[in-house]
Structure 1
Amino acid sequence: MKVRLVTEGFFTLLDDEQIEQTLIAPEDGFYWIDANLEDLAILQPLFGIHDLAVEDCLNDEEQRPKIEVYSDHYFIVMNSIRFDNEDIYLRALNIFIGQHFIITITNQKINELRLLKPTLWEQEVNRPDYFLYHLFDLLVDNYFLVGDRIEDKLELLEEDILIHPKKNHLTEIIGLRGEILWVKKMLGPQREVIGSINKRDLHLIDHQLQKYFGDVYENAIKVSESFETYRDLTGNLREAYQSGLSARANEIMRVFTAITTIFMPLTFITGIYGMNFEIIPGLDLKYGSYILLGIMAILGIVMFYIFRKKDWL
């Protein structure tokens, strides 16, 4: 657990023994407590965190983004997104915001919290609600970055499928589509959380700041629409994959048909001269077998040339 006093964007790190100091509002700035799940045992009785909020934080299952309003603080759940090794990860970020403090509780490292520090310094942030705004802004912007990488992945898949469709392409498409649908399911509640901060009368959020949350809400809508587009693109890729397989099968069948057609007259000739009759034209010729093989070779080459010229092979 890290306890920081944030004053005009500058950080002063406090000792864990000074945690009780955070109960009293500082003369200037606010306290930011960056904690993990184990620290809830200390923070709950200290800040009067509701049992249901603690239960939500400790729940191993995926948490839907939400906001719960208590008398002296709000409890907010948001999801950070990562795209590593072609997989999408959503990581829960639990936030408690009060008049003079903000508590962030995570089970895993959230990259946006690290990126937030220089932003707080540049903007000279001095209130927890402004901290919350910049954090939400970073969270939503990161969805755009992940969306760009997903779009690049879809474009590469499309190129590979059009050039040479493979069996593993279908597995990639189905896996990526499932992850996109999973993210899209979480985007709806997350968008509503941001929208509620923009529209509701929340006494811990500066009224002048709410219009900035409105801008973040518009970006959240764009993110949701983008992932809707990605879902449709995966469906188009699956259709392209099926079409590619059909075209490839047709190409193979065309080659096999042409080869079979070339060998049909050759088989006809060998069939005639393989019959057990005493009188067959050319049997008495000294070089009859060579002549026959030559005719067969010429016939095969001529048919192959005709098929190539007509682009049948």
Structure 2
Amino acid sequence: MKIRHVNQGNFTLIEHIEQTINPPAEGFYWIDANLEDLVTLQPIFRMHDLAVEDCLNEEEQRPKIELYEDHYFIVVNSIRFDDEEFFLRALNIFLGKHYIITVTKQKINELRLLKPILWEQEVSRPDQFLYYLVDLVIDNYALVGDRIELKIDQLEEEILLHTKKTHLNEIYGLRSEILWLKKVLGPQRELVAQLMKKELRLIDDQLQKYFSDVYENALKTSESFDTYRDLMGNLREAYQSAVTSRANEIMRVFTAITTIFMPLTFITGIYGMNFDIIPGLHFEYGAYVVLGIMLVLGIGMYIIFRKKEWL
């Protein structure tokens, strides 16, 4: 657990948790905790049992805001894209009048990125901290959307250049992930809407207007996922068209080869009959003549097919 006093974006480490019980003369306290620290923090900040239970719950929590007497409990889901896989990481926030507590199971990248923003914006209130944190989380969804779009473009290029059977599995897998992300972003968007519209005494009225910008970003990102879903449908059609075209190309080549060998097979069939009298059968150079005719026929038909672009 790390305890910081934040004032005008400057951080001062606090050693003893008891110092955070009373409001500081300026600024606020940011307590960055893990699940084990809740045992210590709950009695000090009178955290509601249901909120603590949600933090400890192993199941995935839906983004939400719960209003209690002297603090709010907020759940947001941070997203991470590693090794072509998406991960959700719950970020539990306790917002008080003079403090904000972030409780996480794993490291959250947004908390690391938040520090320079707090310094740059000279943040001195916990509700401002909450705004910039939620803004970073939503922006990260947009960055994931950009990576998905890049992956779609790469997949489309690979399908057009050289179609493989594995591409179909990639298409269905990526489409499932897009639908899952859209489903995840929906509750997140609802949470931002509540922060924007609800009358919340711990969040300044002027600051609530800024959440409308965050909501717009969440809405745009959600609409982008709709576009990606449609693109995956187009990609699937492109794959099927490429497979069909490739099959037709193979059949065309096989048909042309078969057609070339038909007259050659006809000639060999005649001279393979069991008759005693066949024209040229006993001619000394008959075999060479027949082979020459077959060679001329084969080459001639190949040249004709190439000119007509059948091969």
* Residue matched to 1:81: 79
Q: Counterpart of 2:199 in 1: which secondary structure? A: coil
* Residue matched to 2:291: 293
* Residue matched to 1:70: 68
* Residue matched to 2:203: 205
- The whole-number CA distance in structure 2 between the counterparts of 1:202 and 1:86 is 39
- The whole-number CA distance in structure 1 between the counterparts of 2:277 and 2:42 is 108
Please list the CA deviations of residues 115-137 of structure 1 after superposition, one character each: whole Å capped at 9, or x if unmatched: 10011011110000000011111
Offset of residue 140 of structure 1: 1.3
* Residue matched to 1:6: 6
The list of structure 1 runs, each at least 4 consecutive aligned residues, that deviate by more than 4 angstroms after superposition, is none
Please list the CA deviations of residues 93-148 of structure 1 after superposition, one character each: whole Å capped at 9, or x if unmatched: 11110101101111111111011001101111000000001111111111222211
Q: Counterpart of 2:58 in 1: which secondary structure? A: coil
The percentage of counterpart residues that share the same residue type is: 73
- The whole-number CA distance in structure 2 between the counterparts of 1:4 and 1:257 is 77
> What amino acid is aligned across from residue 283 of structure 1 in structure 2?
L
Equivalent runs, 1:81-230 vs 2, <5 Å: 81-230=79-228
- The whole-number CA distance in structure 1 between the counterparts of 2:55 and 2:174 is 28
* Residue matched to 2:33: 35
> What amino acid is aligned across from residue 215 of structure 1 in structure 2?
D
Equivalent runs, 1:241-256 vs 2, <5 Å: 241-256=239-254
* Residue matched to 1:60: 58
Q: Give the alignment's TM-score, normalised by structure 2.
A: 0.98
Aligned residues: 311
- The whole-number CA distance in structure 2 between the counterparts of 1:39 and 1:182 is 32
- Among 257, 260, 263, which residue is 2:258 paired with? 260
Q: Counterpart of 1:90 in 2: which secondary structure? A: strand
Decide which moves more: 194-203 or 48-57: 48-57
Offset of residue 300 of structure 1: 0.6
- The whole-number CA distance in structure 1 between the counterparts of 2:218 and 2:111 is 19
Q: Give the alignment's TM-score, normalised by structure 1.
A: 0.97
Q: Counterpart of 2:101 in 1: which secondary structure? A: strand
Decide which moves more: 143-152 or 212-221: 143-152
Offset of residue 45 of structure 1: 2.0
Offset of residue 174 of structure 1: 1.5
Equivalent runs, 1:268-279 vs 2, <5 Å: 268-279=266-277
- The whole-number CA distance in structure 2 between the counterparts of 1:4 and 1:151 is 39
> What amino acid is aligned across from residue 229 of structure 2 in structure 1?
R
- The whole-number CA distance in structure 2 between the counterparts of 1:61 and 1:182 is 16
Offset of residue 188 of structure 1: 0.7
- The whole-number CA distance in structure 2 between the counterparts of 1:214 and 1:85 is 33
Offset of residue 61 of structure 1: 2.1
Q: Counterpart of 2:148 in 1: which secondary structure? A: helix
- The whole-number CA distance in structure 2 between the counterparts of 1:23 and 1:177 is 49
> What amino acid is aligned across from residue 206 of structure 2 in structure 1?
Q
Please list the CA deviations of residues 43-102 of structure 1 after superposition, one character each: whole Å capped at 9, or x if unmatched: 122212122212221222222111111111111111112222122222111111010110
Please list the CA deviations of residues 223-274 of structure 1 after superposition, one character each: whole Å capped at 9, or x if unmatched: 1111111111112111111111111111111111111111111111111111
- The whole-number CA distance in structure 1 between the counterparts of 2:62 and 2:282 is 91
> What amino acid is aligned across from residue 12 of structure 1 in structure 2?
T
Q: RMSD over aligned Cα, in angstroms?
A: 1.0
